[in-house]
Amino acid sequence: MIYEKPMLNILEDLKKNKLEIVAGDASFRTFYRIRVKNKKYILIYCTKEKKNNLETYASINSFLIKNKIVAPKLIKIDLNSNYMIVEDFGNKSYRDILSKTKKPLKYYKKIVDTLINIQKIKINSKSQKVIKNNYSKKILAKESNFFFQWYVPTCVSKKKIPSFTKKAKKALSKIFSLIKGPNTFFVHRDFHVSNLMDYKKKVGIIDSQDALLGNHAYDIVSLIDDVRIRTTVKLKNKIFNYYVSRAGKKLAINSKIFQDDFDILSVQRSLKIIGIFYRLYLRDGKKKYLSLIPYTWSLLHLRLKNPIFHEFSKILNDYLPENKRK
- Please tell me whether residues 143 and 232 are part of one structural domain: yes
| Pair (48, 77) in one structural domain | yes
- Domain membership of residue 1 (yes or no) is no
Question: Could you report the per-residue pLDDT of 190-217, keeping only the tens digit for each?
Answer: 999 999 999 999 999 999 999 999 999 9
Same domain, residue pair 27 and 139:
no
> For the segment 65-117, what is each residue's pLDDT rounded down to a tens digit?
999 999 999 998 988 888 899 999 998 999 999 999 999 999 999 999 999 99
Mean pLDDT of 256-271: 95
Judging by beta carbons within 10 Å of its beta carbon (0-12, 13-18, 19+), is residue 46 exposed, middle or buried?
Answer: buried
Residues 161 and 124 in one domain: yes
Cα torsion for 16, 18, 24, 27, to the nearest 10°? Answer: -70
Task: Give the model's pLDDT for residue 68.
Answer: 96
Q: Provide the residue type at 180 as one letter.
A: K
Domain match, 101 and 237 both:
yes
What pLDDT, on the 0 to 100 scale, is given for residue 172? 98
Integer distance in angstroms from the first to the last C-alpha of the chain? 49
CATH number of the domain within which 52 lies: 3.30.200.20
CB of 181 closer than 8 Å to CB of 258: yes
The CATH number of residue 176's host domain is 3.90.1200.10
The answer to whether residue 39 is domain-embedded is: yes
Domain that holds residue 302: 94-324
Cβ distance 145 to 249 under 8 Å?
Answer: no
Gap between the Cα atoms of 289 and 295, Å rounded: 11
User: Residue 81's pLDDT is what?
Assistant: 84
Q: Residue 322: which residues within 8 A CB-CB, separation 6 or more? A: 301
Q: 118 and 177 in one domain?
A: yes
Pair 77, 39 in one domain: yes
Task: Give the number of residues written for the chain.
Answer: 326
Q: Does the residue 22 lie in any domain?
A: yes
Alpha carbon distance 307, 311 (integer Å): 9
- For residues 105 and 42, membership in a common domain is answered with no
Domains in the chain: how many in total?
2
Q: What average pLDDT is seen over the chain?
A: 89
Q: Is residue 2 assigned to a domain?
A: no
Residues 111-158: pLDDT tens digits? 999 999 999 999 887 777 788 788 999 999 999 999 999 999 999 999
Residues 186, 254 share a domain: yes
In a domain, 311, yes or no: yes
Residue 1, pLDDT score: 44
The domain boundary residue, chosen from 39, 55, 87? 87
Q: Kindly state whether residues 113 and 51 are assigned to the same domain.
A: no
Decide: residue 308, CB within 10 A, 0-12 exposed, 13-18 middle, 19+ buried: middle
295 in any annotated domain: yes
Looking at the fold, whether 184 and 304 belong to one and the same domain comes out as yes
Residue 124 and residue 236 share a domain: yes
Alpha-carbon distance of 309 to 313, in angstroms, equals 6
Residue 81 belongs to a domain: yes
Domain-ending residue, one of 29, 55, 87: 87
Q: Are 159 and 239 in contact (CB under 8 A)?
A: no
From 87, 116, 141, the end of a domain falls on 87
